[in-house]
Amino acid sequence: MGDMVRFVGLTLGSLRLDVPFFQASLSGYSNYAMRSLAREFGCPFTMADMILAKSAAEPRVLRKACFRPGNDEHPIGAQIVGKVPSIMAKAAFDLVAAGYDLIDLNFACPAPKVLRRGRGGALLNDPETVIDIVKAVRDCVGVPILMKLRIGADHEPESADNFWEIVTRSIEQGVDALVIHGRAVSDRYRDKADWDVPAAVKRRFPQATIIGSGDIFDAAATVDLMKRTGLDGFIVARGAIGNPWIFRDLRCVWENRPVPPAPDLAERRAVMLEHFERILQGYPERKAVGNFRKFTVRYARCHPKRKPAVLALMKGRTRGEVEAAINTWFTEDYPRCPPQVRLGTPPQGVPKWICGGA
């Protein structure tokens, strides 16, 4: 840890973070409730849920409270996905006017419904459109611009050529940081993320801010990862779902302080109830229950009776039923979670999508 000091902090254009990590935009997850918990646990900067550019460009959409940043969560970034430069530019302009401090352009999303419409990761096959979008957005906003991409559409040589063309030209156009996920779009979330490609980008463009993404689940391992790759920082995505403690642990690691013990069930219960309450403040009860259900598998991932605990949580249809399930299954003084818990398949009876994420 002695030479770690050179890694501390992260510069995103005009934004200065005191640690080299932040929370990614997670489609369907990173609403105000999740973001506010992340900040309380030590995350210096969060990204809002991904939003379709043509929706963000509609004034009536941005008037909705769920699409506007809270007064207590600056700095905050907005991530947009789309394929028409002029619409992406208008969306970026309107989001900045709504109070966002940074714009993130998504050219990485592997979701089939996004790819079918030629958005997200599909644009890695079209460097010209990507660069046109970067230019259009850069010309109309003064806030920092990030670009999220994967290491290619697939593993064919043409995809690698497109990737390097996009990287080179976007840096030339003044993108403030590249966030590179170490998988191809065709991989979705299979196998391990390849951090060697982001490392190669950093070696080729040492003056650029290059941020890594993929499989950040273990706080202690991030120090060696940064030393090995030479990257400027990393984002936390799936590892933060149902696990705000990862930011507490990361901050301890990067501030050279002891990492506290993993939370016991009583602490998990308190945070789950608080998380659920914050969702309820922003959504009608039925929608809030559905939104919180996506987090329950991760909150219970190391419960000693994981299967019945998750199934009980999933069965809740009202506020009272969900809170009763939490209070029933997170009360006994079971052993604490082991410090490193990998994401696994969901228990039988739980839909596989519930363990998805970005």
The predicted-structure confidence for 87-98, as pLDDT tens digits, reads as follows: 999 999 999 999
Q: pLDDT band for 238, please (50, 70, 90 cuts).
A: very high
pLDDT of residue 66: 84
- Average pLDDT in the 12-17 region? 96
- Average pLDDT in the 307-325 region? 95
pLDDT at residue 82 above 50? Answer: yes
pLDDT of residue 337: 55
**Do the bridges between strand 102-107 and strand 76-81 make them parallel or antiparallel, or are there none, so unpaired?**
parallel
Note whether 129 and 168 are same-domain residues.
yes
pLDDT of residue 332: 66
pLDDT digit string, tens, across residues 97-120: 999 999 999 999 999 999 999 999
Query: Residue 307: helix, strand or coil by DSSP?
Result: helix
Alpha-helical regions (H) of 259-334: 265-282, 285-299, 306-315, 319-329
- Average pLDDT in the 79-91 region? 97
In a domain, 38, yes or no: yes
Query: Residue 258: helix, strand or coil by DSSP?
Result: coil
- Average pLDDT in the 140-148 region? 97
Query: Residue 210: helix, strand or coil by DSSP?
Result: strand
In a domain, 33, yes or no: yes
Q: Which of 203, 226, 254 is the last residue of a domain?
A: 254
In a domain, 170, yes or no: yes
- Average pLDDT in the 69-80 region? 95
Query: What mean pLDDT, rounded, does the chain reach?
Result: 91
Q: pLDDT band for 137, please (50, 70, 90 cuts).
A: very high
Burial class (CB in 10 A: 0-12, 13-18, 19+), 118: middle
Residues 6+ apart with CB under 8 A from 46: 22, 23, 30, 35, 38, 39, 73, 76, 77
In a domain, 259, yes or no: no
- Average pLDDT in the 336-348 region? 46
pLDDT digit string, tens, across residues 323-337: 999 999 998 655 455
**75 preceded by a cis bond (ω within 30 of 0):** yes
In a domain, 315, yes or no: yes
In a domain, 235, yes or no: yes
pLDDT digit string, tens, across residues 153-193: 999 999 999 999 999 999 999 999 999 999 999 999 999 99
Note whether 106 and 132 are same-domain residues.
yes
pLDDT at residue 144 above 80? Answer: yes
pLDDT of residue 342: 41
Note whether 274 and 249 are same-domain residues.
no
Q: pLDDT band for 293, please (50, 70, 90 cuts).
A: very high
In a domain, 260, yes or no: no
- Cβ atoms of 165 and 96 within 8 Å: the answer is no
pLDDT of residue 334: 52
Note whether 103 and 202 are same-domain residues.
yes
Note whether 278 and 249 are same-domain residues.
no
Q: Which of 254, 278, 302 is the last residue of a domain?
A: 254
- Average pLDDT in the 75-85 region? 97
Q: Which of 200, 230, 254 is the last residue of a domain?
A: 254
- In sequence order, what DSSP letters do the residues of 58-85 get, joined into one string? SHHHHTSGGGS--TT--SEEEEEE-S-H
Note whether 111 and 236 are same-domain residues.
yes
pLDDT at residue 351 above 60? Answer: no
Single-letter residue type at 186: S
Note whether 124 and 223 are same-domain residues.
yes
Note whether 244 and 281 are same-domain residues.
no
Note whether 147 and 218 are same-domain residues.
yes
Cα–Cα dist 146/141, whole Å = 12
Q: pLDDT band for 239, please (50, 70, 90 cuts).
A: very high
| H-helix or E-strand spanning residue 162 | helix 157-172
pLDDT of residue 7: 56
Q: 93 lies in which domain range?
A: 4-254
pLDDT at residue 46 above 60? Answer: yes
Q: pLDDT band for 63, please (50, 70, 90 cuts).
A: confident
Among left, alpha and beta (phi > 0; psi -120 to 50; other), residue 326 is: alpha
Note whether 194 and 142 are same-domain residues.
yes
Note whether 206 and 309 are same-domain residues.
no
User: How many separate domains does the chain show?
Assistant: 2
Note whether 337 and 246 are same-domain residues.
no
In a domain, 158, yes or no: yes
CATH number of the domain within which 184 lies:
3.20.20.70
- Cβ atoms of 41 and 245 within 8 Å: the answer is yes
